[in-house]
Structure 1
Amino acid sequence: MYAKIQLKKLLQAAISKLGLSWPEKANIEPPRDLKFGDLACNVAMMLSKEAGKNPRQLAQEIKEILSNLESPLEKIEIAGPGFLNFTFKKFYWLEIINTIAEQKDRYGASTFGKGAKVQIEYVSANPTGPLHIGHGRGAAVGDSLTRIMRFAGYDVSTEYYLNDAGIQMNILGESTWIRYQNLCGVKASLEEHHYQGEYLIETARQVFEEHGRALLDMDLDHGISICRKMAMDVILNGIKEDLNLFRVEHQHWFSELSLIQKDKVSYTLEWLQDKDLAYEKDDALWFKSTDFGDDKDRVLKKSDGSLTYFASDIAYHQNKFDRGFELAVDIWGADHHGYVPRMKAAVQALGKTENSLQVILVQLVNLQREGHQIAMSTRAGKFVTLKDVIQEVGIDACRFIFLSRKSDSHLDFDLEVVKRKTMDNPVYYVQYAHARICSLFAKAQEMGITPPTDDTLVLNGLDTPEDIELLKKLHDFPETVSSSATNLSPHYISFYLMDLAGCLHKYYTVHSVLKAESSELIQARMTLFQAVARVIRNGLNLLGVYAPEKM
């Protein structure tokens, strides 16, 4: 059992004997200074008022109860105003090696999510152009979160919401139509609001190859509609290819247009009116979002009869919950932050709790080369595609850097820095730790040293501060996974891996492995390194990143 969980159970048993219950604000964390032990807890201070006792007095009573229980604790000390500091016996940390050897690629997995049905919707970029690097960050976050939540016991379904209806698609059709006319020798110019990218020239060429000049003789709207459909199909196929290349999964592709064609939006609006959650004013239909904490009511249908995106989004989320999802996770660009309160309001109007919808905001990426910003504009057609970046720096580097910071924080992505094979590069730092262990085992084989097997694990001699530091870090992995899933934060895994790699690299500077004082110690340290390599592989897999054996 992992340290924090086991200690919490022991403390709960102790305070129960005192007629007390675990307080919500109690926490168990490693002390800032390791000389105070392995873990510290403030439970005595949190319960002193309820118990009617001085915190140190209560801490003493808890200590006495714990001292009489069978446990892996070696030492319990009281510090400061009433902190309880705990030191575990060495064997407790060593046991994790056997656990990792038994569980292998499932080490860190759990039933924490209890099979809860979760839908994660991400990327969902308008099919109006190739994916750019900003879309790539959202793709990496969504796909990694899917891997993590499944590993933590959730039943996760992935989805791409296809915005194939509305004004942007009409503009795409018009932009392609103009490019098609140019190919037919007809003078026509793109206006400022049209998509300027040269990728539409190739799309228009495909229209010409299939239809020749026939579209010029058609009704204008019909000709544009053909251009719109072909442009969307070509672009969407490109998006799917790029996401597949980037190791990103989408099980379902949901069409916004299907909601409209099946009258699902109209049904939802009528349902809101029947529940007195929508009203007519100034020839428009409004949603009573202020009833659910939004700062103002929102338009569902405009005075000209056209639907807002919000109307379709409510119908779409109704569809999600109708499919039985207990939690809907939407991953949006940070520029949509103002949209969150109204969608939270809509979800509550649909009879769900506010927390049934969780929105992860992803900041745009500042793409740079040697510190100089690369300007990007999708509408103007001036951007570096995700595929371009992948081809230049590689999938592993791209995904890891995207996941190396909290998703709603700004990210500077310098193409030249990411390609460097130095310890300043976080993806190299972590992958090199794994490759370093593989290299050590290859060298051991050359030296005739037989590596330990699951049946011959040797642990004697793993008692230095660096050994214990690595063992503790290995203990932390399962909790890191569950915390990452609970907080919808894939960057917890990348942070953890950088810490684990740091401990490994530090170990190398302090201790010799293959030239240790005895054959038994060599085997013990190789056993430890086997476990570290396994956890690095498991963690990198959750990020969708490979663990190389050579670098």
Structure 2
Amino acid sequence: MTPAALAELVRTTAVDVLSARGVDTSVLPETVTVERPRNPEHGDYATNLAMQVGKRAGVAPRELAGWLAESLAERDEISSAEVAGPGFLNLRLAADAQGAIVRDVLTKAEEFGSGDLYAGLRVNLEFVSANPTGPIHLGGTRWAAVGDALGRILRAQGAEVTREYYFNDAGAQIDRFVRSLVAAARGEEIPEDGYGGEYVAEIASEVLRREPGALDLPETERDEVFRRTGVGLMFDEIKRSLHEFRTDFDVFFHEDSLHESGAVTECLDQLKESGSLYHAEGAWWLRSTEFGDDKDRVVVKSDGDPAYIAGDIAYLRDKRERGFQLCLYMLGADHHGYIPRLKAAAAAMGDDPDSVEVLIGQLVNLVRHGEPVRMSKRAGTVVTLEDLVEAVGVDAARYSLVRSSVDSPVDIDLDLISKHTNENPVFYVQYAHARLSSLQRNAASLGIVRGEVTEADLGLLTHEREGDLIRTLGEFPRVVRSAAELREPHRVARYLEELATAYHRFYDSCRVLQPGDDQAGPLTVARLHLCEAARQVLANGLSLLGVSAPQQM
């Protein structure tokens, strides 16, 4: 019995108990909360339902908890139900009910953990969106790992997710990049406000290989060649490195297309007509303070050029016109101002501000031998995605970036995540999966046939460590749902570490295969099913994070 099934059992029991005593059942919540207590001696699960509704029902919470305990104790699925404190209800599952969790995992297989929280919701998930002026730095790398994992988790909860990369191919940063390429092609010093690093020289050389006469062209034509070819080469490299990092996008949206198509002008005209823009000091301003922003924002500068926010507003409108019900933006630590700004833009267009959601990610620091790793030779000033992958591999890089909340800065210890020991979180989880895979192979080599889980006597799994492992497996759907609802993929990573610990403790206490025993008894078969369920959930969780589940290590 999964926690969700137990919660439903508690609720239906409460309905029966209150109805039998003439108490209005509308006081009950739609969903009852059941949780695993911190102290296992208090039971397998606990609920505070009686304390939550006792006063509204006109019943002392402890008395209501007693009614529930008496009724639940009569159910075959419940081994015991006890009242604690002012009205907590501690529950222990019967062995057969616990075994049903194993059966549920193996029946659903890769689908175990999936749900319908966001069934049918069309989500535009924009992340990374690094300027095409250099390799992806560590901040963008964190978003590549977290954004990809969040997309997988939202899809596991039924959402229709489109992963989108906003290609910033307009603006001053592109002009500086072009000047840097031209200087490198000429063998001159990079401009003071330009981009340094070996990659600039590499791209400039490739531009000249493809366009040998580029430097002989008039300045405007020359710059256009370096813009078109150089930016394209840089973006191809960005896409390649992201793909190798197992992060792919459904849409690459070009900022420049908004300006060339007239979408920005059209959007601004619409806002002027609605009165959401006003003219002052020679510029056009968005009345963003009316929608919660700390100040009004310049949308069209006094020289007539659109400010950066103009493209953002047109881009948001474009997303909504494409039918996305939720527009999720994942932005860097210096973009806090975008939260009210984008919501104000939505409101100014007569849209729902809640259709916009902005997640802010904090900085990433690399440490090696206790010292900060500050510079990449190729990028010149920053450590890049490729530097991190080269140092520790894709799995360790992704996992280490996902396992911490994006609200907090994270220090990545390269020495630690390179170790093949249990100190390394990703190794610890992957090793548990490899160990479980090896166990199934060893059983097969002994001629032990696990058979169908429906035929196994899972009620034999009564050891304390078996119960801990089973109940941990049962938590997985709730964890995935919470990770989706709260936009926190790190919850899945931390859960996997908890599951790996539960499995290792089980393995140390409960022998699964007897040496030389080719006539396995019912308990061996039941334990093999339990181990396969644990392997399946580890594989499912790692898949949600975009991390491999190795068969052997």
Common fold, TM-score beyond 0.5?
A: yes
- Could you say which residue in structure 1 is the equivalent of 2:46? 40
Question: Residue 141 of structure 1 aligns with which residue?
Answer: 146
Note the C-alpha offset of 1:202.
1.3
- Within the alignment, does 1:272 sit opposite 2:278 as a pair? no
Q: What CA deviation, in whole Å up to 9, does each residue of 1:343-397 have, x standing for no partner?
A: 1222222333332112222222101212210114899822332123213311111
Aligned AA (1:428): F
Tell me the residue number matched to 1:263: 262
What is the TM-score with the length of structure 1 in the denominator?
A: 0.93
For 1:240-319, what aligned pairs fall within 5 Å after superposition? 240-319=239-318
**Does structure 2 retain, via aligned residues, the 8 Å contact 1:194–1:379?**
no
Give the secondary structure class of the aligned counterpart of 2:162.
strand
- How many Å separate the matches in 2 of 1:47 and 1:530? 40
Matches within 5 A, 1:118-517: 118-182=123-187, 188-218=188-218, 220-376=219-375, 381-454=380-453, 456-515=455-514
Match of 1:185 in 2: none
Q: How far apart, in 2, do the equivalents of 1:349 and 1:376 lie? A: 43
2:523 counterpart (521, 524, 527): 521
Alpha-carbon offset, residue 451 of structure 1: 3.9
Deviates more, 1:125-134 or 1:382-391: 382-391
Per-residue CA distance 1:123-144 (angstroms, 9 max, x = gap): 1000001112321110011111
Letter in 2 for 1:267: E
Judge conservation of contact 1:30–1:40 (CA < 8 Å) in 2: yes
Residue 251 of structure 2 aligns with an amino acid whose one-letter code is: H
Distance 1:267 1:472 in 2: 57
Partners of 1:334 and 1:408 within 8 A in 2: no
Q: In 2 relative to 1, CA 26–94 (structure 1 residues): closer, same or farther, beyond 3 Å? A: closer
* 1:9 Cα offset (Å): 5.5
CA shift, 1:418, in A, is: 1.1
What is the CA-CA distance between 1:51 and the residue it aligns to? 2.7
Deviations 1:31-80 (A, max 9, x none): 22222222222222232332333322333344456567x56333222221
CA contact (8 A) 2:8 2:32 kept: no
The question of whether the paired residues in 1 share the 8 Å contact of 2:198 and 2:379 is answered with no
Deviations 1:129-175 (A, max 9, x none): 11123211100111111111111111111110000000101111111
Q: Distance in 1 between matches of 2:281 and 2:378?
A: 33
Structure 1: distance between partners of 2:490 and 2:112: 19
Give me the whole-angstrom Cα distance separating, in 2, the residues matched to 1:369 and 1:67.
56
Quote the Cα distance in structure 1 between the aligned partners of 2:528 and 2:13. 38
**Is residue 42–residue 84 contact of structure 1 (8 Å, CA) maintained in 2?**
yes
Q: After TM superposition, give the deviation of residue 281 of structure 1 in Å.
A: 0.7
In the TM superposition, residue 273 of structure 1 has moved relative to its aligned partner by: 1.8
Q: Is the 8 A contact 1:460 1:520 kept in 2?
A: no
Matched position secondary structure for 1:81? coil
Task: Decide whether the 8 Å contact of 1:12 with 1:22 is kept in 2.
Answer: no
Relative to structure 2, which stretch is displaced further, 540-549 or 55-64?
A: 55-64
Change (3 A) 1:378 1:21: farther
Aligned to 1:57: 63
Partners of 1:177 and 1:121 lie apart in 2 by 32
How many Å apart are 1:3 and its aligned residue?
1.8
Higher mean C-alpha displacement, 118-127 vs 328-337: 328-337
Equivalent in the alignment of 1:83: 88
Amino acid at match of 2:159: Y
How many Å separate the matches in 2 of 1:202 and 1:352? 45
Aligned to 2:535: 533
Distance 2:217 2:105 in 1: 70
Does structure 1 retain, via aligned residues, the 8 Å contact 2:299–2:309? yes
Q: Of residues 107, 116, 120 in structure 1, which corresponds to 2:121?
A: 116
Q: Assess, with a 3 A threshold, how the Cα gap between structure 1 residues 455 and 55 changes in structure 2: closer, same or farther.
A: closer
Aligned residues: 544
| Mapped contact 1:452–1:526 kept (Cα < 8 A) | no
Separation (CA, whole Å) in 2 of partners of 1:92 and 1:83:
21
CA distance in 2, matches of 1:268, 1:313: 11
Deviating more after overlay: 411-420 vs 423-432: 411-420
Verify the 8 A CA contact 2:174 2:227 in the aligned structure 1.
yes
Moved more, 396-405 or 346-355: 346-355
Residue 448 of structure 1: CA displacement? 3.8
Q: What are the ranges of 5 or more consecutive residues in structure 1 without an aligned counterpart?
A: 183-187
CA contact (8 A) 1:45 1:55 kept: yes
Q: Shift in Å at residue 406 of structure 1?
A: 0.9
* 1:238 aligned counterpart, secondary structure: helix
Partners of 1:108 and 1:481 within 8 A in 2: yes
Contact 1:125/1:131 (<8 A) preserved: yes
The question of whether the paired residues in 1 share the 8 Å contact of 2:198 and 2:378 is answered with: no
Partner amino acid for 1:49? Answer: K
The one-letter code of the counterpart of 1:449 is I
Give me the whole-angstrom Cα distance separating, in 1, the residues matched to 2:376 and 2:356.
30
Partner-residue secondary structure (3-state), 1:335: coil
> Which amino acid is the alignment partner of residue 551 of structure 2?
E
CA distance in 2, matches of 1:67, 1:416: 52
| 1:98-113 equivalences in 2 (<5 Å) | 98-113=103-118
Q: Secondary structure at the match of 1:237?
A: helix
1:29 alignment partner, SS class = coil
Distance 1:13 1:509, change over 3 A: closer
Distance in 1 (alpha carbons) for counterparts of 2:472 and 2:421? 24
Counterparts of 1:214 and 1:521 in 2: how far apart (Å)?
A: 76
Higher mean alpha-carbon deviation, 31-40 vs 135-144, is at 31-40
Query: Structure 1 residues 46, 155: CA separation in 2 closer, same or farther (over 3 Å shift)?
Result: same
Query: What's the offset of the Cα at 1:111?
Result: 2.4
| Pair 26,349 (structure 1): closer, same or farther in 2 beyond 3 Å | farther
Q: Aligned partner of 1:56: which letter?
A: R
Report the secondary structure of 1:337's partner residue.
coil
Aligned to 1:550: 552
What is the Cα deviation at residue 26 of structure 1? 7.1
Q: 1:13: Cα distance to partner?
A: 5.8
Task: Give 1:244 deviation, angstroms.
Answer: 0.9
Identity of aligned residues (%): 39
Q: 2:354 and 2:9 mapped to 1: Cα distance?
A: 28
Secondary structure of residue in 2 paired with 1:266 = helix
The CA distance in 2 between the partners of 1:25 and 1:397, in whole Å, is 38
How far apart in 1 are the matches of 2:319 and 2:365?
33
Bigger mean CA offset, 270-279 vs 524-533: 270-279
Does 254-263 or 371-380 show the bigger shift? Answer: 371-380
Q: Return 5+ residue gaps in structure 2 as ranges.
A: none
Aligned partners of 1:158 and 1:252 also within 8 Å: yes
